[in-house]
Amino acid sequence: MKRVVILYGGKSGEHEVSLQSAASIVRNLDPELFEPVLVAIDKEGAWLLQGPGILGRARSAEGPLLIGAGPRVLVGPATGLLVADAGVLKPLPCDIVFPVLHGTFGEDGTIQGLLEVAGLPYVGAPVMGSALGMDKEKAKRLWIAEGLPVVPFVLARRGDEAKAPRLSEIAQEVEKRFGWPAFAKPACAGSSVGASSVRDADDLGRALREALEWDDKALVEPFVKASEIECSVLGNGNPRAFPPGEIVPKHEFYDYEAKYIDPDGAALILPARLDEGVAARVRDIALRAYRALDLAGMARVDFFVDTTKGEVLLNEVNTIPGFTSISMYPKMCETGGLAYPDLITELLELAIERHEGKSRLRYSFQ
Ligand SMILES: Nc1ncnc2c1ncn2[C@@H]1O[C@H](COP(=O)(O)OP(=O)(O)O)[C@@H](O)[C@H]1O
Ligand SMILES: [Mg+2]
């Protein structure tokens, strides 16, 4: 029996989504193989060990995981997890950590670095892959270097939005490369926050101000009118890609509201309505995009596909995608024959495999 610490909540805009994903994982963890331990991260970033009440409730009731009061959990260099119990630090036994944290401080390599230092196996991409997956600019540069088709972009940096000469330089670059309407979004964010369409050069300052509230960098891209296609990739050294799925947002684009607030904000279509050849190309590019960032565990690779031209463009990658039993990532795996509980087991096994692989590396001459 392996003890799996489910890390959930988090100091991120996607805190609530995490509570949902974590609840689904608790309910579907194979009880023959794994024993869950819940560690919640509150909105201030404190790690709190959850008692049996929260776990029991999660198993018996529908709805998101709750966060109750509890002793602080700490992470130390080569100490694993520690729990502060009445002023005394005690080890918190843990075989694998499953970070179910979307967005900043969870999906971006920071938590992964902490877990590496503590010496713990964890589910999902390592430090660099997580950080690259979060940074849409850096990910695209690597994909371009691999010859993969990406949505082109012009980069804006903090301060550009307030300087008229810089704004007009960016606008000229946009006009030269792809023209209006364009689309502006923060480089490192998620949930579509700070993203908006840009009508023309006069609208660029407004769009960049919104995007740069969320990050120091923003991308300006052509406004792509195409199907939104996603593809689940699973594995370490020899990953596999599942049949793609399709998102049909009811709004101008797949915005925050369509993702989380409006229950009819988007339709999920499984498998995606693609010609066989195009679907195969999506899967192939998803695998190459995954390898280009040295990802491990899992990732959902997102695309725009122009179904009339059969043109496939990479948009972005999510290393801890929405993970409720009805989320796109698990659903696409299920369409490809991998049931949700088995997916969880495989991810936990992949975490152990990667950790063991790393422990076999040499770190000194002795
Ligand atoms: N270049 C673009 N043209 C049109 N819509 C876009 C473009 N880029 C993103 N979008 C829309 O915004 C949504 C969020 O953008 P995305 O790049 O996926 O960032 P994130 O999901 O990390 O916030 C997409 O799902 C899509 O609906
Ligand atoms: Mg997205």
Query: What is the per-residue pLDDT across 285-325, written as a single tens digit (0 to 9) for each?
Result: 999 999 999 999 999 999 999 999 989 999 999 999 999 98
- Confidence at residue 76, expressed as pLDDT on a 0 to 100 scale: 87
- Determine if ligand 1 sits within 6 Å of the CB of residue 302: yes
**Residue 7 and residue 80 in one domain:** yes
Percent of the chain with pLDDT over 70: 100
- Confidence at residue 325, expressed as pLDDT on a 0 to 100 scale: 87
**Residue 109 and residue 170 in one domain:** no
- Confidence at residue 15, expressed as pLDDT on a 0 to 100 scale: 85
Angle between helices 340-359 and 15-28 (to 10 degrees): 100
- Confidence at residue 59, expressed as pLDDT on a 0 to 100 scale: 85
Whether 94 contacts 68, CB under 8 Å: no
Q: Which of 193, 222, 251 is the endpoint of a domain?
A: 222
Residue 301 Cα to ligand 1 midpoint, Å, equals 13
For atom 20 of ligand 1, the residue with the nearest CA is 190
Residue 76 Cα to ligand 2 midpoint, Å, equals 33
Per-residue confidence band for 16, with pLDDT thresholds at 50, 70 and 90: confident
User: What's the rounded mean pLDDT across residues 334-340?
Assistant: 97
pLDDT, tens digit (0-9, with 9 covering 90-100), for 85-116: 888 999 999 999 999 998 777 889 999 999 99
Mean pLDDT of the chain: 93
- Determine if ligand 1 sits within 6 Å of the CB of residue 223: yes
Count of domains in the chain? 3
Q: Which ligand is nearest to the CA of 221?
A: 1
Long-range contacts of range 152-156, CB-CB < 8 Å, 24 or more positions apart? 152/177, 152/178, 152/221, 152/222, 153/219, 153/220, 153/221, 154/219, 154/220, 154/221, 155/187, 155/217, 155/218, 155/219, 155/220, 156/184, 156/208, 156/211, 156/212, 156/217, 156/218, 156/219, 156/220
**Residue 218 and residue 231 in one domain:** no
Pocket test residue of 137, 185, 228 for ligand 1, highest count of atoms within 8 A of CB: 185
Residue 72 pLDDT > 90 = yes
**Residue 91 and residue 145 in one domain:** no
Instruction: Round to whole Å and give the CA distance between 304 and 244.
Output: 12
Whether 36 contacts 65, CB under 8 Å: no
Per-residue confidence band for 10, with pLDDT thresholds at 50, 70 and 90: confident
**Residue 80 and residue 175 in one domain:** no
Q: In what order do the strands lie in the sheet with 34-41?
A: 47-49, 34-41, 2-9, 96-100
Q: What is the DSSP string of 211-227?
A: HTTT-SEEEEEE---SE
Please indicate, yes or no, if residue 162 is contained in any of the structural domains.
Answer: yes
Torsion of CA 116, 119, 120, 124, to 10 degrees: 30
- Catalytic residue ranges: 14, 191, 260, 300, 302, 316, 318, 322
Q: Which of 195, 222, 249 is the endpoint of a domain?
A: 222
For residue 318, give the ligand 1 atom closest to its CA: 22
**Residue 87 and residue 171 in one domain:** no
- Determine if ligand 1 sits within 6 Å of the CB of residue 190: yes
**Residue 140 and residue 280 in one domain:** yes
- Determine if ligand 1 sits within 6 Å of the CB of residue 178: no
Residue 239 pLDDT > 90 = yes
Helix%, strand%, coil% for the chain, nearest 5: 35, 25, 40
**Residue 234 and residue 310 in one domain:** yes
Please indicate, yes or no, if residue 365 is contained in any of the structural domains.
Answer: no
- Confidence at residue 39, expressed as pLDDT on a 0 to 100 scale: 97
> Can you give the residue range of the structural domain that contains 236?
133-149+225-358
Residue 1 Cα to ligand 1 midpoint, Å, equals 41
Cα dist from 220 to 88, 292, 338, whole Å: 51, 23, 37
Residue 83 pLDDT > 80 = yes
Whether 279 contacts 107, CB under 8 Å: no
User: What's the rounded mean pLDDT across residues 65-74?
Assistant: 93
Report the CATH number at residue 314.
3.30.470.20
- Determine if ligand 1 sits within 6 Å of the CB of residue 253: yes
Please indicate, yes or no, if residue 127 is contained in any of the structural domains.
Answer: no
Residue 189 pLDDT > 90 = no
Whole-prediction pTM value? 0.95
Instruction: Give the residue with greater pLDDT, 78 vs 6.
Output: 6
Instruction: Give the range among 33-37, 93-97, 211-215, 249-253 with minimum mean pLDDT.
Output: 249-253
Pocket test residue of 254, 256, 306, 329 for ligand 1, highest count of atoms within 8 A of CB: 254
